[in-house]
Amino acid sequence: MLLRRTFVALSVTALSLGTLTLDAQAQAAAKKDLVIGGTAGSNIDQLKLGIVPILEKKGYKVKLVEFNDYVQPNLALAQGSLDANFFQHTVYLKKFSADQKLDLVELVQGPIAPLGVYSTNRKSLADVKEGDRVTLPNDPSNLARALVLLEQNKLLTLKGGIDPIRASEKDIAENPHKLKFIPLEAAQLPRSLGDTEYAIVNGNFAISSGLKLTEAVALEKTPDHYLNVVAVKRADKDAPWAKDLSDAYRSNEYKAVVDTRFQGYAKPSFLQ
């Protein structure tokens, strides 16, 4: 009798767990309210102008949340107050997720405004003088990106054999102009223009501050690993709403918005 009761209890438990799983799947399939985060400037604008209208046509109600730093959007996503975010490249996503022990993954790539060198005190990089001050992003992945941009423009040389996506100031082999590097939080870089000779500014923060890509004295040739990505929790990657979000980025409607409203942006191959 005891064995029979135990079997019945286990069967009821298994049935309950199965019901809960089915309920969770049903809720995921029926999810039509989405909260998506993006950083100020071109990233939130791409969501607002290009992605939200497509999702709304599919019956979704979308709330956008604007951020002014590169830390809170991933923390909010991991904690569940966002369903997805769009502001970072995959190099940053992987490093931040590893450092913070977050289970976040890339869903789909999207356009990014190129990293640029801006100046109000110098007309070009050819006008560089010894000891010029250069502000650049202080997060490791974008700092490396900035150093590579300076190397591409022959203002410094990095040590041979280093991984360029992990380059830091200690990897500088030659700095012939004795440039002084001042790492700052990315959102603060546009404000540094009047106080330094050059500022290397992430595209979204350049645009949100009123700078134009055409005003940069140099723009990076953005490799694919620095394209923006939509990030989601790993558990949500295969959800129906995530597929619809991914499809929106790959749609002809979104491509038309990018081509007309975000000219000069680096884009994944499917938006070329």
Instruction: Give the tokens for residue 135.
Output: 């502000």
Per-residue pLDDT band at 247 (split at 50, 70, 90)? very high
Single pTM value for the model = 0.85
Q: What digits encode the pLDDT tens for the residues 14-39?
A: 555 555 555 555 565 679 999 999 99
pLDDT tens digits for 150-197? 999 999 999 999 999 999 999 999 999 999 999 999 999 999 999 999
Q: How confident is residue 3, by pLDDT bands cut at 50, 70 and 90?
A: very low
What pLDDT digit, counting tens, does each position of 33-73 carry? 999 999 999 999 999 999 999 999 999 999 999 999 999 99
Query: Is the four-CA dihedral 151, 157, 161, 162 of positive or negative sign?
Result: negative
H helices, E strands: number in the chain: 9, 12
Taking the CA atoms of the chain, what radius of gyration do you get in angstroms? 23
Which residues have a Cβ under 8 Å from the Cβ of 131 and sit 6 or more positions away? 177, 178, 179, 180
Length of the chain: 272
Burial state string for 178-216 with b = 16 or more CB within 10 A and e = fewer than 16: ebebebbebbbbbebbeebbbbbbbbbbbbbbebebeeb
pLDDT at position 30: 79
CB neighbourhood size of 227 (10 A): 19
- Residue 90's closest CA among 238, 253, 268, 209? 268
* E strands present in 111-257: 116-118, 133-137, 157-158, 172-174, 180-184, 198-201, 218-219, 228-233
* Category of 124 on φ-ψ map: left (φ > 0), alpha (ψ -120 to 50) or beta: beta
Q: What is the enclosing helix (H) or strand (E) of 37?
A: strand 33-39
